[in-house]
Amino acid sequence: MIKRPTPKVLFFSVLLLFLLSSCNNATRLIFTPGKTLAPLPETIGLQYQIVWFEAPDRTKLHGWLIPGDPAAPMVLFFHGNAANITHRLPNIDYLHQLGLNVFIFDYRGFGKSNGVSLREEDLYQDARGALKWLKGSEWDSSKVIYYGRSMGATVALQMALEQPPAGIILECPFTSLHDIAMKTNPISYGLVGRWFIKDRFDNINKISSISAPVLIFHGKKDRIIPFGMSVKLFSFAKEPKTLHLVNEAGHNNCYLTGGEEYKKLWISFVGKYSNYNYPDKLTKNLKERHSKGRMEFY
């Protein structure tokens, strides 16, 4: 005869499932790949090269190389957790307007890239493949800036530990996955989450060990990742470092609402740490584009 579970056992079983599900929601904030493709660069007149490369485990990955001023540094763009590179087109266009070369790729499971991203380490594997491709294309690390947005900030920080760049720019980063889980559902995290979340995304430990110059942006109206997390990360970063909070920005639009100050910080940081002198002609064009509203095209 099969013994039925008591109401008490059923209650705690359901409670445990609920708590685990709640903590899993925090993990899904990290891994939410998108396959649907948005408009491509040619729709806004951007020239680009389609790039296929492999991660160390042979997973085939897809990316774009958007050329800028040949003398300018390369921005290796580590995007955030949702959608894919096609949805970063406005951000790519902004960087292109700054004269920068941009290499952006999709992690496994995102966009056209093969595979499935299930672990923190998968992201790092993919980034290592991207860096290997850049080196094979004769881009020296002294001319490469890592740019990590949201989840991509973790990838940028890890790569900065392994292969130091000329500088690292973070936008709306978080401190750790545990902190995100605590913010998302403190009760579930306190009871069971801390024991079941395996991927740490420990950005505090990473940033405290990085020697490259750091520039951090964060929107003060970010409702996904509190700007206080950037403040905390900044406190652990080594000099030289800069923190800029964008008053009217949320999680995804610092580059659109940051205005002249945001642009100046990008230009000064990139110029100083990659030894790139912006040509007078390019600087003039930037001012003209900004005054005509091109910077806020999207």
3-state secondary structure of 200: coil
Residue with tokens 């005054």: 291
- Whole-prediction pTM value? 0.85
Burial of 36 (0-12, 13-18, 19+ CB in 10 A): exposed
- Provide the pLDDT for residue 179: 84
Tell me, what's the pLDDT at 149? 98
Ordered by start, the domain boundaries in the chain are: 7-296
Q: How many CB atoms lie within 10 A of CB 76?
A: 27
Runs of H (alpha helix) within 112-226: 120-136, 151-162, 177-184, 186-188, 194-196, 203-208
* CATH of segment(s) 7-296: 3.40.50.1820
pLDDT value at residue 186: 52
For residue 258, give the nearest of 94, 142, 73, 20 by alpha carbon: 94
pLDDT at 67: 97
Supply the DSSP symbol for 191: I
- Across the 298 residues of the chain, what is the mean pLDDT of every consecutive 10-residue run? 50 39 50 85 95 98 97 97 94 96 98 92 98 96 97 98 98 91 59 51 97 98 97 99 98 96 97 89 55 35
- In whole angstroms, what is the distance from residue 157 CA to residue 271 CA? 21
Asked if 181 and 26 touch (Cβ cutoff 8 Å), the reply is yes
Output the pLDDT for position 167.
Answer: 99
Positive or negative CA dihedral for 123, 108, 59, 101? negative
Q: CA 263, 146, 202, 240 torsion: positive or negative?
A: negative
State how far the alpha carbon of 195 is from the alpha carbons of 191, 198, 226, in Å. 9, 8, 24
